[in-house]
Amino acid sequence: MMKGQYSRREFLKLASQTSAVLFSFPISAQSRNQVRKRRAPNFVFVLSDDQGWNGTSVHMHPKRTSSRSDYHFTPSLERLALQGMRFSSAYSPAALCCPTRRSIQFAQTPARQGDVRFKNDYPRGNQRLTIPRILKSIDSNYAAAHYGKWDLRTDLAPEDIGYDESDGNTGNSVGSLGSDFDKSKKWEKFQECEDPKRIFSITDRAKDFMTRQVKAGRPFYLQISHYAVHVDMQTQPETLRKYAKKEKGKLHRIPAFAGMTEDLDTGLGKVLDKIEHLGISDNTYVFYMADNGAVPWIPPDKKKHFAPPKKLDDYSRNHPLRSGKWTLYEGGIRVPFIAKGPGIQKNSTCDVPVIGWDLLPTIADLAGYDRPLPTDIDGGSFRTLLVNAGKGTVKRPSDAFVFHRYSDSDLHSAIRVGDFKLVKFWKTNELHLFNLNNDIGETNDLSEVMPQKTEELHRKLMAYLKAVKAEVLEKYG
CATH code at 201?
3.40.720.10
Q: pLDDT, tens digit, for every residue of 39-74?
A: 899 999 999 999 999 999 999 998 899 999 999 999
pLDDT of amino acid 74:
98
Residues 379 and 415 in one domain: no
Q: How confident is the model at residue 459 (pLDDT cuts 50, 70, 90)?
A: very high
Q: Which domain holds residue 114?
A: 42-387
Q: What is the pTM of this model?
A: 0.91
The answer to whether residue 47 is domain-embedded is yes
The answer to whether residue 183 is domain-embedded is yes
Looking at 353, 387, 421, the residue that finishes a domain is 387
Give the other-Cβ count within 10 Å of 421's Cβ: 23
Q: What is the Cα–Cα distance from 157 to 170, expressed in whole angstroms?
A: 8
The answer to whether residue 135 is domain-embedded is yes
User: What is the per-residue DSSP string for 223-275?
Assistant: EEE--TTSSSEEE-HHHHHHHHHSPP-SS---HHHHHHHHHHHHHHHHHHHHH
The answer to whether residue 197 is domain-embedded is yes
The arithmetic mean of pLDDT across residues 7-35, rounded, is: 36
Residues 320 and 463 in one domain: no
Mean of pLDDT over the chain: 92
The answer to whether residue 318 is domain-embedded is yes
The arithmetic mean of pLDDT across residues 358-380, rounded, is: 97
Determine contact, residues 294/302, Cβ cutoff 8 Å.
Answer: no
pLDDT of amino acid 1:
38
The arithmetic mean of pLDDT across residues 24-50, rounded, is: 64
Residue 136, SS3 per DSSP: helix
pLDDT at residue 251 is higher than 70: yes
Determine contact, residues 292/332, Cβ cutoff 8 Å.
Answer: yes
pLDDT at residue 366 is higher than 80: yes
Determine contact, residues 171/150, Cβ cutoff 8 Å.
Answer: yes
The answer to whether residue 23 is domain-embedded is no
pLDDT at residue 21 is higher than 60: no
Q: pLDDT, tens digit, for every residue of 190-246?
A: 999 999 999 999 999 999 999 999 999 999 999 999 999 999 999 999 999 999 999
pLDDT at residue 265 is higher than 50: yes
The arithmetic mean of pLDDT across residues 291-306, rounded, is: 96
Q: What are phi and psi of 370, to 5 degrees?
A: -125, 20
The answer to whether residue 463 is domain-embedded is yes
Q: What is the Cα–Cα distance from 39 to 285, expressed in whole angstroms?
A: 13
How many domains are there within the chain?
A: 2
Residues 236 and 259 in one domain: yes
Residues 64 and 183 in one domain: yes
The arithmetic mean of pLDDT across residues 96-114, rounded, is: 98
The arithmetic mean of pLDDT across residues 390-412, rounded, is: 95
% of the chain with per-residue pLDDT over 70: 91
The arithmetic mean of pLDDT across residues 256-278, rounded, is: 98
Looking at 387, 422, 446, the residue that finishes a domain is 387
| Strand 284-290 to 233-235 pairing | unpaired
Looking at 333, 363, 387, the residue that finishes a domain is 387
